[in-house]
Amino acid sequence: MGENCCGCLQVGQNVPDFTMDTYEPTDYGFATTSLEQLKKAGKWTVLVFYPADFTFVCSTELGDLADEYDNIKAAGAEVVTVSTDTVYTHLAWKREEKFLENAKYPMAADPTGAVSKLFGVYDYGTGLALRGTFIISPEGKLVASEVNFYNVGRSAKELLRKLKASVYVAAHPAEACPARWEAGDKTLTPGAKLVGKVYDALK
């Protein structure tokens, strides 16, 4: 599983362009998506890798993501879900699984594992992708990553929180967001006066 890790991306690095075929639930058709086109549109990119269509935890995760999709879009991002399945399998899964009935995000196919390998989530033992979530800025920089094993699902609400925090600090680079920060909460401005006084600054 770690055969590709020496070359996988790290937070803070620029992400090279990639292109994937997608199933588009909003018009029931096929298309392509690329990082370059999302950057040109000024979008933040949220990639959500998952092991496989027609599986169990994945169905709950993508349903959870569908519930938060409008809020993620409102924060300035596009979500692209990714597995090593084909776009035809995505279409069938979206049609059959009730958890996905409200899904509107592009569902990308990575059958060769090329993009999964780029982000270090490709499992060479199974040919599947681990549960990886990556937030990429409109400039193409990787600003957040999370990778879970097959049997632990993720929270779309926490993804939205991290996205909003990333958007905020990109616009306010002198500030930092503390644990459990939500939009409108106090932030931190690192400096000599803050050393040992973080608790006081947030009260």
Query: pLDDT for 183-200, tens place per residue?
Result: 999 999 999 999 999 999
**What CATH number did the domain enclosing 74 receive?**
3.40.30.10
Nearest to 146 by CA among 75, 137, 158, 80: 158
Asked whether residue 68 is assigned to any structural domain, the reply reads yes
Considering the candidates 5, 8, 58, 177, report the single residue annotated as catalytic: 58
Quote the number of domains for the chain.
1
pLDDT over 70 at 173, yes or no:
yes
Quote the domain boundaries for residue 149.
5-154
Q: Find where tokens 């000024």 sit.
A: 42
Which residues are 105's β-sheet partners?
Answer: none
Q: Can 5 be counted among the known catalytic residues?
A: no
pLDDT in tens, 109-167: 999 999 999 999 999 999 999 999 999 999 999 999 999 999 999 999 999 999 999 99
Asked whether residue 167 is assigned to any structural domain, the reply reads: no
CB 87 within 8 A of CB 121: no
Residue 123 within any structural domain of the chain: yes
Residue 149 inside a domain? The answer is yes
Tell whether 70 is covered by a domain. yes
Residue 95 lies in a domain: yes
Please state, in angstroms and rounded to a whole number, the distance separating the CA atoms of residues 150 and 194. 40
How big, in percent rounded to 5, are the helix, strand and coil portions of the chain? 35, 25, 40
Q: Is 7 left (phi over 0), alpha (psi -120 to 50) or beta?
A: alpha
Handedness of CA 114, 150, 153, 99 (dihedral sign): positive
